[in-house]
Structure 1
Amino acid sequence: MLTITGYSVELIKDPFGILTGKRYELLLDIEVAEDDELYSENGLYVRVIYVVEESRSGMAKYAIHEKTNDNYVDFELEDDELAVIEAFCKEHLVDAEE
């Protein structure tokens, strides 16, 4: 299981008005146990694109990266971990600067 230890959230500007709804980018610092296959000595963060539209809202995309070198980690999160991240994102969208 993962623990979210810090975050930032930002509204993604759409200067051309092409996209419907709003898009947010969240960077979530995460901690995982040393015995977890996702563990990295370099530390990890998850970059999430979260979409809010009239008919739906949710994660459109996520990617895991190492903190120290920004390398992409090719790993898929488990359903319970995705649920934790989804709930966290939904709760913290209000922190975005518009």
Structure 2
Amino acid sequence: MLTITEFQVEHIKDPFRILAGKRYEYKLDIEVPDDDELYSENGLYVRAIYNEQEEGGGLVKYDLYEKSTDLYLDFDLEDEEVQAIETFCREHLGDAEE
């Protein structure tokens, strides 16, 4: 299981209102156990896009990166890890810079 250690969130501006709802971009520094296949000595972060609408919100997309090299990692997270990220994003919408 992953642990979110630090995060940044930013509201993605849509001046032409092309997209439904509000989109937020998160950068989540994560730690994983060293016996996990995702483990990297260089550290990891998740770049996530969260969409909030009147009917509710949800995770649109996430990508994993190696922290010190910004190298994209082609791995899928487990369902409960994706759910944990989605919950974290929902709970921290108020921290976004408008």
| Shorter-chain TM-score above 0.5 | yes
Task: Work out the percentage of aligned pairs sharing the same amino acid.
Answer: 65
Question: For the residues of structure 1 that align with 2:61 and 2:4, how far apart are their CA atoms?
Answer: 17
Q: CA deviation at 1:96?
A: 0.5
Q: CA deviation at 1:56?
A: 3.0
Matches within 5 A, 1:66-77: 66-77=66-77
Question: For the residues of structure 1 that align with 2:55 and 2:88, how far apart are their CA atoms?
Answer: 20
Q: CA deviation at 1:97?
A: 1.6
- Runs of 4+ that moved beyond 4 A: none
Matches within 5 A, 1:12-51: 12-51=12-51
Q: CA deviation at 1:10?
A: 0.4
Q: CA deviation at 1:21?
A: 0.7
Question: For the residues of structure 1 that align with 2:56 and 2:88, how far apart are their CA atoms?
Answer: 17
The number of aligned residues is 98
Report the counterpart of residue 53 of structure 1 in structure 2: 53
Matches within 5 A, 1:87-98: 87-98=87-98
TM-score (norm 2): 0.96
TM-score (norm 1): 0.96
Gap runs ≥5 in structure 2? none
Gap runs ≥5 in structure 1? none
